[in-house]
Amino acid sequence: MVSANDSPISESPVAARPRFQRIEAIVNEAAGSVGPGAAKALAGVIAAHGYACNLANPAPADLSRAIEAAVEAGPDLVVVLGGDGTARLAAERCGPDGPLLAALPGGTLNMLPHVLYGMRPWRAALEAALSEGIERSICGGRVEGRAFYVAAVLGEPALWSAAREAARAGKIRQAWRRALYALRRSFTGRIHYKLEGMPERDAEALVLISPIVSKLMNAAPSLEVVELDVHNATEMFRLAYHGLVGDWRRDPGVTVYAAVRGRAGARRSIPCILDGELQRLGHRAEFEFQPRAFRALALREAGGPVL
């Protein structure tokens, strides 16, 4: 178990500020906080810094292909503006040996962009990245081969994110149905998991936190594995309260470990949130730490959200 007194992990070594010959930009105007006209505005910010860019403004169904094409074009920098899923997909496509990535906040949670640029809106984040940004190697993790860079949640509590997204979109009836479904599923299926060198344990949910935001990981990089062991709504509300007023890791329903890899299983398919995006896994899932996930154009002083 990790001590709360461990010092935070040191940042990855940084390089001098890069210059760019070719920039590819992808804007998802359908994302939560982007909207019409964002593509033109983004191109204007890049031009104001003396760069040209090849800009794509795809429909949501074509977003994955547009990101793939941008990376395959071999630019020095890929800029994406969209939601959490867009940022995660672009980081995965760029990988550790691909172009630098500037993932701008255009969604609801904006988990990865807030790590790279702090709590800036997308225009300010892009301005800062182009004028002050440095190359930074970003670590992360993988769950059943699917990447995350900030945090992953495995277990039934992940279902609440679907209700949140429906409410954000103004679909009140759908949000209500999804909330009822999440409530019925809560506390009905435990996650069984095993970390290297430890016996198997079980929990209501697991939270896997990357060292780039973890408050507890030390100089030996690994995932922070948080076991949430709550058994009823009262304990869940107590945990939520501790999250609002202090360090939720000190809640009696929370146990924290460090691990490079592990596996989890459940009687049913496992709901999973990867950097804010809900996905569905099978009955079993392996997870691991990824020390070099992708290269970002990031700010030297930027920190991550407090999880």
Q: Which domains does the chain have, with CATH numbers?
A: 23-132 (3.40.50.10330), 146-293 (2.60.200.40)
Q: What is the predicted pLDDT for the residue at 188?
A: 58
* Amino acid sitting at position 172: I
* The pLDDT value given to residue 163: 46
Q: Tell me which residue has tokens 């990865």.
A: 112
- Give the full edge-to-edge strand order of the sheet including 205-209: 254-259, 223-228, 205-209, 151-155, 271-274, 277-280
Residue 107's Cβ-count burial label (10 Å; 0-12, 13-18, 19+) is: buried
Helix ranges (DSSP H) in the chain:
38-48, 63-72, 84-94, 111-117, 122-132, 160-168, 172-185, 233-245
| pLDDT tens-place string over residues 217-232 | 545 588 989 887 755 4
Is 116 exposed, middle or buried, given 0-12, 13-18 or 19+ CB atoms closer than 10 A? buried
Pick out the chain residues at pLDDT < 70. Answer: 1-17, 157-189, 215-220, 230-253, 302-307
Q: How far apart are CA 198 and CA 152, in angstroms?
A: 21
Task: Find tokens 């949000």 and name the residue.
Answer: 175
Return the pLDDT at 185.
55
Question: Which of left, alpha, beta for 74 (phi over 0: left; psi -120 to 50: alpha)?
Answer: left
Identify the pLDDT of residue 7.
32
pLDDT of residue 25: 97
pLDDT of res. 3: 37
Quick one: which of 96, 103, 111 has its CA closest to 129? Answer: 103
**Residue 34 DSSP class:** T
Span 253-278, pLDDT tens digits: 688 888 999 999 998 888 888 887 87
pLDDT score at 134: 93
Structure confidence at residue 248 (pLDDT): 62
- H or E element: which one contains 78? strand 77-82
- Give the SS3 label for residue 126: helix
What pLDDT, on the 0 to 100 scale, is given for residue 159? 53
pTM for this structure? Answer: 0.80
Query: What whole-number distance in Å separates Cα of residue 263 and Cα of residue 286?
Result: 4
